């Protein structure tokens, strides 16, 4: 690849025309930059010279592209070997640089899967999100935690698989509540054999693969055999499982019969905004849907929006075997090749006109239309609330980004800081941040010291990454949980950082510490309150409650991790399985540390080399 950055003093068509002398017909990616070298637009081309020449001719562009050309002061080029490579590079750069004039997918959350773990004699079934590092089979993606939880609930009712952790499994001496309510077969207490449990696991995986008919027939035969053998209690249990499976199948009537694996993607636009609805079809089952609101300018073609969405959506996700779209792509063959290269198998892209697949698209379009209508209504309400905040606190402009901070700890232990963000679209959870308090010199429970560390880290990073405040990451208002003392302390922190122009408000509980009697503190201004039924007051309470929730959840997760930690976690080569074997053999991490080399080698599953590693780790200091 070759890169040719050049800075020009002029802007517009003449600047773009000047690059034509050095370009050839190679495929590649181009970037358009403004006078401050900020990226305005990223695009791909089969022929860079031909594509750039289109921008150099006035009078044939949409208003959005005309504005972009007018602001262009320089361009950068990356040549690639193929157009497919250019497409993949374009989408990566768009996600990384977030150019102002590109269609941009703003929600980049990951999707959960169901994991049938295979690192234990009695596999557990659980929700999984993130890298697929644990040994086992993964099924998904599901649209969200709700869809996963419903499916897990169904699997437990029908197949009686455990969902407890391995440590709970090893220490339990009698069946838990899950067994009592017939959601688990009790493998922890030997109430089911390993072979029978493995059979249930296989049936559960067949269910997740859409092969439910054979499962029901097998259960019916087992029930008949148990009845004939006069094992009436076992027959009744099998009857209950068949009943649960029947209920699951009847609840899945909306599932497609002829579409085994696909993502259904539908685009609806209204009032300069867009909603893309994605339905996940796996194993002939509808595994939920999710709506997205890509950033658009309003004059893009539907094919351009759809192509940008598909490219960015699958840049860090594995595509299914089929994409069913409401609008075609200008380069559908190219996109299919790029996705196939990523998935290492064929990916088909279709725009159906009739039949079951067309009905799926129509359903997704209806959901997209309804979701966008709700979103536009909520956005209008949110805009009124933000305007109300500006008026209540006498701000010069309506805030577009409000950051709310809080700390959480128990007598200083496992201290964390939390930041939540609210703006025109409500709470922006992609922008939430958590801070592990690192300063060991702080007095336990020193909230001022914790807040100083959090704000210092937050704004030092902003000063480094966005000193010109052009990326939309700087807050227009800070909300601090506390009264005048907290506000004064935060103001001092901000002054030390050289950031003294951001308004801040302290939210104190007020008289009797009752919700609705909050007092608001600002630097150099008298304490104020809002009337008890003011929508702005409710909005501030929601923001304060949200940061409390986020901070407490972060603190609990950190505390739980610390409680379950042992010195074995730091020993090289000791993973979950070896850790479990060592603890089961010796009873505690302290006993492992005291063990001699011969005893370590005697542990089942621990090699001589690993035993030496463990021994050296605990005895390296004599």
Q: What is the structure's pLDDT at 133?
A: 84
Q: What is the structure's pLDDT at 268?
A: 94
Structural contact between residues 45 and 86, judged by C-beta atoms closer than 8 angstroms: yes
Which contiguous run of DSSP H or E holds residue 180? helix 177-180
CATH code reported for the domain at 262-374: 3.30.420
Dist. CA 527–CA 218, nearest whole Å: 72
User: Domain 13-102 has what CATH class?
Assistant: alpha beta
Q: Is 262-374's fold the same as 402-466+473-561's?
A: yes
Q: What pLDDT digit, counting tens, does each position of 231-269 carry?
A: 777 777 777 777 766 665 554 445 677 888 999 999 999
Which contiguous run of DSSP H or E holds residue 269? strand 261-270
Classify 360 as helix, strand or coil.
Answer: helix
Q: What is the DSSP letter of 429?
A: G
The C-alpha torsion from 135 through 136 and 140 to 143, rounded to 10°, is -60
Structural contact between residues 413 and 488, judged by C-beta atoms closer than 8 angstroms: no
Structural contact between residues 147 and 225, judged by C-beta atoms closer than 8 angstroms: no
Which contiguous run of DSSP H or E holds residue 207? helix 194-208
Dist. CA 177–CA 175, nearest whole Å: 7
Nearest to 393 by CA among 236, 539, 497: 539
Structural contact between residues 337 and 349, judged by C-beta atoms closer than 8 angstroms: no
CA 543 to chain centre: 21
Q: Which residues of the chain have pLDDT under 50?
A: 1-2, 6-8, 251-253, 513, 622
Dist. CA 298–CA 302, nearest whole Å: 10
- Residue 122 dihedral angles phi and psi, to the nearest 5°: -115, 90
Dist. CA 559–CA 250, nearest whole Å: 42
The per-residue b/e assignment along 57-76, b for 16 or more CB within 10 angstroms, e otherwise, is eeeeeeeebbebbebbbbbb
CATH superfamily to which 402-466+473-561 belongs: UvrC, RNAse H endonuclease domain (3.30.420.340)
Length of the chain: 622
Structural contact between residues 432 and 550, judged by C-beta atoms closer than 8 angstroms: yes
Question: Which tokens belong to 157?
Answer: 């009712």
Q: What is the structure's pLDDT at 531?
A: 86
Question: Which tokens belong to 546?
Answer: 């949200």
Q: Which residues contact 69 (CB under 8 A, 6 or more apart)?
A: 12, 13, 16, 32, 55, 61
Dist. CA 192–CA 404, nearest whole Å: 51
Q: Which residues contact 303 (CB under 8 A, 6 or more apart)?
A: 327, 328, 329, 330
Question: Which tokens belong to 528?
Answer: 């104020």
Nearest to 292 by CA among 104, 98, 129, 42: 104
The structural domains of the chain, with segments of one domain joined by +, span: 13-102, 112-251, 262-374, 402-466+473-561, 576-618
């Amino acid at each position: 690849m070759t890169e040719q950055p050049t800075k020009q003093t002029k802007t517009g068509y003449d600047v773009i025309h000047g690059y034509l002398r050095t370009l050839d017909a190679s495929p590649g990616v181009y970037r358009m930059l403004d006078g401050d070298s900020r990226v305005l637009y990223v695009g791909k081309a089969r022929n860079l010279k031909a594509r750039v020449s289109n921008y150099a001719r006035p009078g044939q562009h949409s208003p959005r592209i005309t504005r972009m050309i007018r602001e262009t002061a320089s361009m950068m080029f990356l040549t690639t070997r193929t157009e497919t490579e250019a497409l993949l590079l374009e989408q990566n750069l768009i996600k990384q640089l977030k150019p102002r004039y590109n269609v941009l997918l703003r929600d980049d959350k990951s999707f959960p899967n169901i994991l049938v773990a295979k690192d234990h004699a009695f596999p557990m079934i659980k929700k999984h999100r993130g890298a697929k590092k644990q040994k086992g089979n993964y099924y998904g993606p599901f649209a969200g935690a709700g869809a996963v939880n419903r499916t897990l609930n169904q699997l437990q009712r029908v197949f009686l698989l455990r969902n407890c952790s391995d440590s709970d499994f090893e220490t339990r001496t009698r069946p838990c509540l899950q067994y009592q309510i017939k959601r688990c077969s009790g493998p922890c207490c030997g109430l089911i054999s390993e072979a029978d449990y493995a059979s249930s696991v296989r049936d559960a995986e067949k269910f997740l693969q859409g092969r439910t008919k054979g499962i029901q027939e097998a259960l019916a035969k087992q029930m008949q055999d148990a009845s004939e053998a006069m094992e009436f209690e076992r027959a009744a249990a099998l009857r209950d499982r068949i009943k649960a499976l029947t209920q699951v199948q009847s609840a899945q009537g909306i599932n497609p019969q002829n579409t085994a694996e696909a993502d259904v993607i539908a685009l609806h636009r209204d009032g300069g905004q867009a909603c893309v609805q994605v339905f996940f079809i796996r194993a002939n089952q509808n595994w939920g849907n999710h709506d997205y609101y890509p950033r658009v300018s309003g004059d893009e073609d539907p094919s351009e929006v759809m192509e940008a969405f598909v490219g960015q959506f699958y840049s860090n996700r594995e595509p299914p075997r089929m994409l069913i779209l409401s609008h075609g792509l200008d380069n559908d063959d190219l996109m299919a090749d790029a996705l196939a290269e990523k998935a290492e198998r064929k990916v088909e892209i279709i725009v159906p006109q009739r039949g079951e697949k067309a009905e799926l698209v129509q359903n997704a379009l209806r959901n997209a239309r309804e979701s966008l209508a709700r979103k536009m209504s909520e956005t209008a309400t949110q805009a009124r609330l933000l305007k109300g905040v500006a008026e209540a606190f006498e701000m010069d402009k309506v805030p577009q980004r409000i950051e709310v901070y809080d700390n959480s700890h128990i007598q200083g232990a496992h201290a964390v800081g939390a930041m939540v963000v609210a703006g025109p679209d409500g709470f922006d959870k992609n922008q939430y941040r958590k801070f592990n308090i690192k300063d060991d010199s702080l007095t336990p429970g020193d909230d001022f010291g914790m807040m100083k560390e959090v704000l210092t880290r937050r704004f030092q990073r902003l000063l480094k990454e966005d000193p010109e405040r052009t990326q939309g990451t700087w807050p227009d208002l800070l909300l601090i949980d506390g009264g005048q003392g907290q506000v004064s302390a935060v103001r001092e922190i901000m002054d030390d950082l050289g950031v003294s122009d951001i308004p801040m408000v302290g939210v104190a509980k007020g008289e009797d510490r009752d919700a609705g009697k909050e007092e608001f503190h600002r630097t150099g201004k008298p304490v104020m309150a809002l009337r008890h039924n003011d929508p702005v007051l409710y909005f501030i309470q929601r923001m304060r409650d949200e940061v409390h929730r986020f901070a407490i959840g972060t603190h609990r997760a950190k505390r739980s991790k610390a409680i379950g930690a042992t010195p074995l976690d730091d020993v090289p080569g000791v993973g979950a399985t070896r850790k479990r074997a060592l603890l089961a053999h010796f009873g505690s991490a302290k006993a492992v540390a005291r063990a001699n080399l011969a005893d370590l080698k005697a542990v089942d599953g621990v090699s001589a080399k690993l035993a030496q590693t463990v021994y050296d780790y605990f005895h390296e200091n004599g």
